Structures are given as C-alpha cells and as structure tokens.
Amino acid sequence: MLCNWKNVLVFNTLTRNCRQFATKQRTFREVKIPVPWGHIAGKWWDPSDKRPILAIHGWQDNCGSFDRLIPLLNEDVGVLAIDLPGHGYSSRLPPGMYYHNMNYPIIIRHISNYFKWPKVSLMGHSLGGISCFLYTTLFPELVDFLICIDGVKPLYKKNNGPRMALGIQELLKYDELSRNPEEPPSYVMDVMKKKLTALNNESISIEHCHHILDRNIAQSKSDPNKYYFTRDPRLKARLILNWSQKDLLEGAYRVTSPILMIKFSGSGYYEEKENFYEILEALKRASKAAEMHYIDGPHHTHLNNPETVYMIINKFIETHDIEKRDIGGIVKDIL
C-alpha cells in the first residue's frame, strides 16, 4: 500500500501500518535483513530492482538521518539506508557485547554478502562515514565509490589506556541497564526533542528532529503522554578500540576508489586536526578521484539543510556511477 504523502514524511510514533511511504515523489520500503544475532532494519529507497547505494548513519542516530537528503539524490540509483545494531529498529547486539567501530564494517560485509553485491557503493554520515572509510581500507577492490559526510577517519587518541579502562567500566554499567526489565525514564515529546537536539552542540534542528526520533522512541506503558529512548544504552560507552595514525595512514593508501568528503564548518575534529589532513593527503594520492568540500553548518546539516549538499553528491554519483547494478536488488524475504 502506498501512502500518498506529498512533501514530508509524517511523524507518527503510534501508527506505522503503511510499509511504503512517499516523500517528494520518491518512495521507500521498510526492510529487515537477517544477521546471525537478529536483523538489520532500514529503508530501501526506490529504485529497488537493482544494487543500491548503502547509506550508514552516525552515532546514536538512525536511517531517518537521510530522510530529507535521499529524495533529492539521483533517482536512477536506489539507496538502502540502514539502522546500525542497537539503533532504530535493528536488533541489539547480544548481552555483554561491546559496540566498537569494527562492528560496522562487519555489518557492511554481512549485507553485501546477503545480496551478493559484486561491489558496494557507500555513503555515510559521521560514524557512518568512518565505517565506510574503514571498510574500504579493508576491501578496496570491492568498493566502487564512497561518500563521507562530516566523518572520514577514526579518531586517534594518545595515552589511550585510561580511556579504555573507563570504557570497560561504562560497558558493564550500561550492559546492566540494557538488561533491566523496567521501562527507561520517559518524557513528554517536547522534552524528548530537546534532549535529542542537545547532542552534538545542538546540531539537529527542532524542526527536523522527528526524522531521528521516529525510530528511536517508544510510548510509555505507564503514561501514554510520555516516551522513552529505545536505542541500546551500551552505545553510550566510549570506544575502547584505538587506531594508530600509522595504521590509518597505511589504510588510506589502499583507498583507490573515488571518494567524496564533505566537512561541515560547525563540526570539530575531536582530535589534532593535523591527523585528518595527513589522511586527506594520502587519499588524494591513492584515490582515482578524491574530492573535499567545506560547507557552512552544524554536524547534521545534511538533515537540516540537505539543499546545501545534494548537488555536490549528485554530481559525484553521476560521474563515478559506472559499475553495473543489475545484481543485488530487493528480495521479498526482507520486506
């Protein structure tokens, strides 16, 4: 059944009977892709009869992060935007397991194998961009192009031992919370919006935060006027896996496929920025075509103001979308 909604996705946390939606005349279908611990959920934006671009969101977001960008992209190429494990509608990792940044290249490999994609096209925001970069350093011959939006390399932190120790303590705390049968704290919708927009220096606008909230909350059973966050609490534990700058530099020289990088002016580097520019120079040398663009705006500009980036992305796709897409379309089992 097609919901004939013209310009915007309707936000409704209570009713999700329509499994295919329309926004600006581009439709998507809700999907669930099987993985050994459960499923990876997502939205497959048409066309769905051929290999799509795989889109990966940032930390504690979900595939709704791309709701306003994807309808503006090249309509000849489909996009499969997924919820990472513990986010959105995707299954959480098993109890006791840690969410680290190598989980996500593994997810890309699971999905690529499931659909038998000969190559994968990647687009990621923040942690998603980092995941795309890492996957490409590991499997450079299997990536036809990648688009990294305000996130490319993993952060390198000196003296990481104390951070790792603290991260393990946080894991134990949040792992216990994740197994607590009691309902998490709940809040009225206005408070939920403020809590979400407060992240990343208020980079998500109140006006558009519902695109993230829709897949991140559930209605309280004790008070129907309140909601609680459904993402896995273990996601809050800081990362304990640290990459050396030397390893990242070696990996960057393996990225031979075309790469588009977009940096938002209101977002920081979160490490010594020289580390980023060293990787950038390596990518310029190794890649067939490396583009770097600087755009004014906060970390979620692709959601708040997608009109500032979509033309750059479309031009990149039109230039580098040269591999066949006839293998790897949608299958009935995941609808």
Burial of residue 292 (CB within 10 Å: 0-12, 13-18, 19+) is middle
Residue 219 pairs with which residues in a beta bridge?
227
Do strands 217-219 and 227-229 pair parallel, antiparallel, or not at all (unpaired)? antiparallel
pLDDT above 90: percentage of residues in the chain: 84
Q: Above 70 in pLDDT, residue 110?
A: yes
Q: Is residue 83 part of a domain?
A: yes
Domains in the chain, number: 1
Catalytic positions are 126
Mean pLDDT for the stretch of residues 228-246: 91
Contact between 280 and 292 (Cβ < 8 Å): yes
25 confidence band (pLDDT: 50, 70, 90): confident
Q: Any idea which of 38-52, 152-166, 243-257 has the lowest mean pLDDT?
A: 152-166
Q: Is residue 73 part of a domain?
A: yes
Reduced to 3 states (helix: H, G, I; strand: E, B; else coil), residue 56 is strand
Predicted confidence (pLDDT) per residue in 89-106, tens digit: 999 999 999 998 899 999
Q: Is residue 239 part of a domain?
A: no
The range of the structural domain enclosing residue 75 comes to: 20-159+244-322
Cα–Cα dist 4/7, whole Å: 10
Predicted confidence (pLDDT) per residue in 238-289, tens digit: 887 788 999 999 999 999 999 999 999 999 898 899 999 999 999 999 999 9
Mean pLDDT for the stretch of residues 116-122: 98
Q: Any idea which of 34-38, 120-124, 237-241, 262-266 has the lowest mean pLDDT?
A: 237-241
Q: Is residue 24 part of a domain?
A: yes
Please give the sequence-ordered ranges of beta strands (E in DSSP) within the chain, or none if there are none. Answer: 20-23, 26-35, 38-45, 53-56, 79-82, 120-125, 143-149, 217-219, 227-229, 259-264, 290-295
Q: Is residue 189 part of a domain?
A: no
Q: Is residue 224 part of a domain?
A: no
Mind spelling out the 3-state secondary structure of 205-262? CHHHCHHHHCCCEEECCCCCCCEEECCCHHHHCCCCCCCCHHHHHHHHCCCCCCEEEE
Provide the CATH number for the domain around residue 284: 3.40.50.1820
| Torsional sign, CA 120, 31, 231, 182 | negative
Q: Is residue 12 part of a domain?
A: no
